[in-house]
Amino acid sequence: MKTLVCVWMMICLCCCAEAAASDLLRDSAVSWLGALPCGSWDCECAFSKLQGCCCVSSALDDLEQATFIRMMGLWDGLMRLNTQVQDITAGCKIAFTAAMLPMSGCFGPFTSNMSISYQSVSLNQGNGYNPALGVFTAPHAGLYSFSFTVYSKPGSSGERLYQKLQLVKDGTVLASSWEDNREDSEDSSSQTLLLQLRRGCQVYMELLSGRQICGDTQGLNTFSGFLIYPSSDELGN
């Protein structure tokens, strides 16, 4: 029993000492005439609710709110940018490659220029190439690369090698390959060019009137193209 009384008295003394110390600190802080370590320190709050109060809580709340608003603005801008990127790059996997069907005879000559139908299609991403017409129609505006190879074998030595093919964009000739001699029993050539296209622009190959392509038994006459990078329609020519 005496032990319990002693313990109780010690607890009471400690509580009284803690209360006295707290009162002393409070009085000292209130009577302090110098600059406080934090200009917005609420002394009453700091001494009565020490664990839930901070002298910079208001400033931190303002900073948190400003940061949140800025982050929401950045997120909104990022979403708008992502939408623009998706609009520009939509359907941008565009590429094709096609070859003329093997032939032992000749294609041509014709009395007028004839578009060439490269019907053996090995790639047509974006479905921009029409093998029935031999025409590529740009599904999206952008910078494109086009290549073509011309091959002809008229027959035995001394026969005339007489071919001329040209790449045409919307009716305008942009590149050509031609040969006219009796020295070569066969010949081939290739070209590559870059074109800025609007959506809907058409590119195709045509054989000039009076010319011919012969003896292509391996499908060596080819036409191909692909989108390098997209652009808005306003940038196309």
pLDDT of 65: 81
Would the pLDDT of 221 be above 90?
Answer: yes
Average pLDDT, integer, range 196-202: 95
The whole-number average pLDDT for the span 134-149 is: 95
pLDDT higher at 42 or 106:
106
pLDDT tier at 5 (50, 70, 90 boundaries)? very low
Specify the pLDDT at position 2. 44
Whether pLDDT at 102 is above 70:
yes
pLDDT digits (tens, 9 = 90+) for 21-46: 556 656 665 565 555 555 555 555 55
What residues contact residue 211 under an 8 Å CB cut-off, 6+ apart?
108, 109, 162, 163, 164, 165, 178
Instruction: Please report, for the chain, the start and end positions of each structural domain, with discontinuous segments joined by +.
Output: 91-235
CA-to-CA separations, 112 to 108, 172, 218, in angstroms, rounded: 10, 16, 26
Q: Which two tokens stand for residue 183?
A: 């020295």
Report which of residues 214 and 63 the model is more confident about.
214
| Cα R_g (the chain), whole angstroms | 42
Pick the CATH number of 91-235 from 2.40.50.100, 3.40.1190.20, 3.10.20.30, 2.60.120.40: 2.60.120.40
Q: Beta-carbon neighbour count of residue 204 at 10 Å?
A: 22
Per residue in 142-175, pLDDT tens? 999 999 999 988 876 667 788 889 999 999 999 9
pLDDT score recorded for residue 149: 95
Average pLDDT, the chain: 79
> Please, which residues bridge with residue 179 across strands?
163
pLDDT of residue 179: 83
